[in-house]
Amino acid sequence: MLAQLRAAFVSLFALTVITGIAYPLLVTGIAHAAFPSQASGSLIVKDGKPVGSHLVGQPFDDLRYFWGRLSATADANGKPLPYNGAASTGSNLGPTNPALLDEVKGRLDALKAAGPENDAPIPVDLVTSSASGLDPDITPAAAAYQVRRVARARGVDEARVRALVAAHTEGRRLGVLGEPRVNVLELNLALDEL
């Protein structure tokens, strides 16, 4: 019996070291060597400090900045916490759910109050959350909708802001995958450098 227990503990220890320590260290080392930026979280660094990630959105509500998609993430107690990377989730609210309709109406009212002269149709990605609740990108149409507000709030020519949006618009991956998109954090950082 003692020999069986010893064999079981030796096997447990050996497998713990191999699968719990050696393998994760090996895979992490290979990832850092082959894809250093991605393995470190695809961080955006400004002045030597990380300010965000290419992969996770951030809340912006200042008129001087482009606004991203709504976030449906929350903290551990269910309290809304925008872009909480530890709680990636969609809202799971159906199109006839009153809570979703209230959320959309609130965002529509905020967009109209921020730019009352803008009578263009509001792109759907500015009033709904993504499936992950962490989406860092908006459509070029959503960025174009906000150009006038941002230019006016910053006292910058609209053409200059449009050019910045165009410079930060990424096309489809491999020419066919996904849709054109604009990373909100990268665009807002570029605005700050104007």
Tens digit of each residue's pLDDT (9 = 90 or more) over 55-86: 888 888 899 999 998 887 776 676 777 777 77
* Average pLDDT of the residues in 95-115: 87
What average pLDDT score do residues 178-182 get? 93
Higher pLDDT, 22 or 42: 22
Q: Alpha-carbon distance 184 to 89, whole Å?
A: 20
Q: Are 183 and 168 in contact (CB under 8 A)?
A: yes
Q: Across residues 154-180, what is the average pLDDT? A: 93
Taking 90 as the threshold, does the pLDDT of residue 147 lie above it?
A: yes
Residue 187 and residue 145 in contact, taking contact as beta carbons nearer than 8 Å: no
What are the residues whose beta carbons fall under 8 Å from the beta carbon of 140, sequence distance 6 or more?
165, 169, 180, 181, 182
Query: What pLDDT, on the 0 to 100 scale, is given for residue 17?
Result: 94
Residue 133: the pLDDT is 79
Mean pLDDT within 175-181:
91
- Taking residues 167-173, report their average pLDDT: 93
Segment 106-119 shows an average pLDDT of 89
Lowest mean pLDDT among 38-42, 109-113, 166-170: 38-42
Specify the 3-state DSSP secondary structure of 137.
Answer: strand
Q: Looking only at Cα atoms, what is the longest distance across the chain? A: 83
Looking at every residue in the chain, the average pLDDT score rounds to 88
More confident residue, 162 or 40: 162
Give the pLDDT band (50/70/90) at residue 20: very high
Would you state the structure tokens that stand for residue 6, as one six-digit string?
């010893």
Mean pLDDT, residues 153-166 = 94
Q: Between residues 188 and 55, which one has the greater pLDDT? A: 188
pLDDT of residue 78: 66
